[in-house]
Amino acid sequence: MATYRRLPVAFVRGEGVWLWDTDGRRYLDALSGIAVCGLGHAHPAVREAICDQAGLLVHTSNLYRIPEQERLGAMLTEMSGMDRVFFANSGAEANEAAIKLARLSAHQRGLENPAILVAENSFHGRTLATLSATGNRKVQAGFEPLVQGFVRVPYDDIAAIETAAANRPNIVAILVEPIQGEGGIRIPTADYGPKLRELCDRHGWLLICDEIQTGMGRTGRLFAHEHHGTAPDVVTLAKGLANGVPIGACLARGAAAEVLGPGSHGSTFGGNPLACRAARAVLETIFAEDLIGNAAEQGAYLLTGFREALSGVRGVIDIRGQGLMLGIELDRPCADLVGLALDAGLLINVTAERVVRLLPPLILTRPEAEQLLQELAGLIERYLGAA
Ligand SMILES: Cc1ncc(COP(=O)(O)O)c(C=O)c1O
């Protein structure tokens, strides 16, 4: 179905941060399939894990124990400080699990009509519940009636949450991105996370962090919520978890980890041996190659570099980023830049109409970062000058 507005290019091969199209032309991938291929393309550790596992066992069923799932679950819980994981196949499904968990937890306490606080400009997925949670009318339009039970507040606005809390005794959780991705790489003030934690503790709400775009080392920490020491009750992951093999995960700790029990949720494919083995290879490589440190280092270089290169350029409103999650906000819609970059051999993205979004692989080297900086800064400058 015509659900995608596709660019006129098809890639047939990749290696590291590079992709080759059907004509053999090479492109620098500064998007990683939208924050998915953190280890770049054709990483030997992922390739070997997938090939080896495909020769052993691809799928059984959650009717049985799955050792690879147990191994990945143990790794993820240990690294995140969480207690349990539910495995799904995508980000939207990971969030569905979190939403069901929050509702069921309320029902178990006798609350009949629970509501979850969500933010304006957020993005949580395209299933009915997650598009209802999403703070973007374009994503919702035409799919009404929406799923009830979400209360929307502005992002990075603690006072608005306090007002909502005073008026809505049925709130049971907050679902929030630590940095808004689709919303335009919006980085909240440093005390937002800690204050959210404080509010959740005061009201007995669950703090659910959607780390689907920010997680797996992208921001220079394994999870973005770690930057401010905020410990969520529930964390959702997908995208970068298995470098392109579909997987989603909903992690929970404490009482929240005990809410979903047999029969309350499930997935045929979720946590199958192939996806879990790929994810384990990704996690091992992230640590073995210190890709989190590299994301922090190359990200800081790019942030400073773009700020210097574009300083004083009219039409550039703001340049922000954390690790290898960067946004360059212009004063005008700039979707055309994606095609111009493609012509120049660069894969970038524009989100929220005017924000150039960069999500390069975590394996990005300094020379590759230099090339990206030079070429893209020049392109943006020419675009703004000519527009
Ligand atoms: C923060 C966030 N949550 C959820 C999703 C949905 O993930 P998926 O497309 O895997 O369903 C996305 C995808 O862009 C996302 O960025």
Residues 231-250: tens digit of each pLDDT: 999 999 999 999 999 999 99
Q: Is 138 a catalytic residue?
A: no
Query: How many Cα atoms sit within 13 Å of 163 on the Cβ side?
Result: 8
| CA of residue 219 to ligand 1 center, whole Å | 16
pLDDT-derived band at 387 (thresholds 50, 70, 90) equals low
**Phi, psi angle pair for 223, to nearest 5°:** -125, 145
Q: Count Cβ atoms below 10 Å from residue 345 Cβ, excluding itself.
A: 15
Q: Is 195 a catalytic residue?
A: no
301 Cβ contact list (under 8 Å, min separation 6): 366, 369, 373
Across residues 301-312, what is the average pLDDT? 98
| CA of residue 175 to ligand 1 center, whole Å | 13
pLDDT tens column, 261-304: 999 999 999 999 999 999 999 999 999 999 999 999 999 999 99
Contact residues of ligand 1, CB 6 A cut-off: 34, 90-92, 95, 123-125, 177, 181-182, 210, 212-213, 238
pLDDT tens column, 140-149: 999 999 999 9
- pLDDT over 70, % of the chain: 100
Q: Which atom of ligand 1 sits closest to the CA of residue 238?
A: 10
What pTM did the predictor assign?
Answer: 0.98
Q: Which of 86, 223, 239, 306 is catalytic?
A: 239
Q: Which of 195, 210, 233, 306 is catalytic?
A: 210
| CA of residue 178 to ligand 1 center, whole Å | 13
In this predicted structure, what is the pLDDT of residue 386? 72
pLDDT tens column, 53-81: 999 999 999 999 999 999 999 999 999 99
| CA of residue 110 to ligand 1 center, whole Å | 31
Q: Is 29 a catalytic residue?
A: no
**Which among 239, 269, 351 is the best mutation to test ligand 1's pocket, defined by most ligand atoms within 8 Å of the CB?**
239
Q: Which atom of ligand 1 sits closest to the CA of residue 126?
A: 11
Question: Rounded CA gap, 170 and 193, in Å?
Answer: 22
In this predicted structure, what is the pLDDT of residue 229? 85
Q: Count Cβ atoms below 10 Å from residue 120 Cβ, excluding itself.
A: 16
Q: Which helix (H) or strand (E) holds 96?
A: helix 91-108
Average pLDDT, the chain: 98
pLDDT tens column, 180-221: 999 999 999 999 999 999 999 999 999 999 999 999 999 999
| CA of residue 212 to ligand 1 center, whole Å | 6
Contact present, 338 and 350 (Cβ < 8 Å): yes
Which residue is closest in CA terms to ligand 1's atom 10? 91
Contact present, 138 and 94 (Cβ < 8 Å): no
In this predicted structure, what is the pLDDT of residue 57? 98
